[in-house]
Amino acid sequence: MHYKSATRAQDSMPSSHPITLARMVLFVICCLPVFASAQHSHGVLTPSVTFPQDDAVLLEQPRMLTMSFRVDVRLLKLALYTDEGEWLNMGFQYDPSQSEHNFVFPMPSELPPAKYYTVEWSVVDERQRFMQGKFNFAFGPDAIPPSETIAASYTMPDLELKNEKGEYLTPFEVYQRRQAEREQQSGN
């Protein structure tokens, strides 16, 4: 009896159901390459793992810098900078024959003191798609996340934005004030 009720339920379905299902399956199969290429073009050329991680705070200076990608890439650029923009030689040299998905580089033996360090990189894959990026890290007992240091550098003291009467300055007036301060500093 139970079998008949299940059969009757199937018999009551519209005859277009198998065609609709077939169309849905065909649609999904046709769309898979589109979804796969969208993932490939955006997510694969960014490092899946870096060490140090972006915005990391380490207790001591890292000995190695690592970057792992999901596919083989050619590393075009790898540069290390202090928070002041000073370039630090890591000994990286571009090698057009080197195509890998994991890169490991020794860090300079003694990094100069800095609030944080920035690693800038650029890669190209076998289809000549270019991607570039950067990540920051800090180390030491008093280190704070680089994102906090960077955010603090963008905030201006309230006094810079007001004149002697306590009125807010226009952006042009702030610019003029800063130019005058720079000229005064360079003259001293």
**What backbone phi and psi angles, to 5 degrees, belong to 66?**
-125, 150
Q: Provide the pLDDT for residue 92.
A: 94
* Cα separation of the two ends of the chain: 101
Residue located via tokens 């190209």 = 124
Distance (Å, whole) CA 131 – CA 42: 9
Q: How far is CA 46 from CA 70, 121, 126, 169, in A?
A: 8, 10, 14, 42
Whether 45 and 125 have beta carbons less than 8 Å apart is answered as yes
Q: Provide the pLDDT for residue 185.
A: 79
Q: Provide the pLDDT for residue 179.
A: 81
Q: Where are the domains of the chain?
A: 2-43, 49-153, 156-187
Which residues lie below 8 Å from residue 160, measured CB to CB, with a gap of 6+? 174, 177, 178
Q: How far is CA 91 from CA 76, 88, 94, 169, in A?
A: 13, 9, 10, 47
Q: Please name the helix (run of DSSP H) or strand (run of DSSP E) that holds residue 2, with its range, or none.
A: helix 2-11
* Sites in the chain below the pLDDT cut of 70: 1-45, 154-160, 188
| Segment 18-70, tens digit of pLDDT | 555 555 545 545 444 444 333 344 456 678 899 999 999 999 999 999 999 99
Query: CA 19: distance to chain centroid?
Result: 45
CATH code of the domain made up of 49-153: 2.60.40.1220
What is the model's pTM? 0.61
Q: Provide the pLDDT for residue 156.
A: 53
Which residues lie below 8 Å from residue 26, measured CB to CB, with a gap of 6+? none
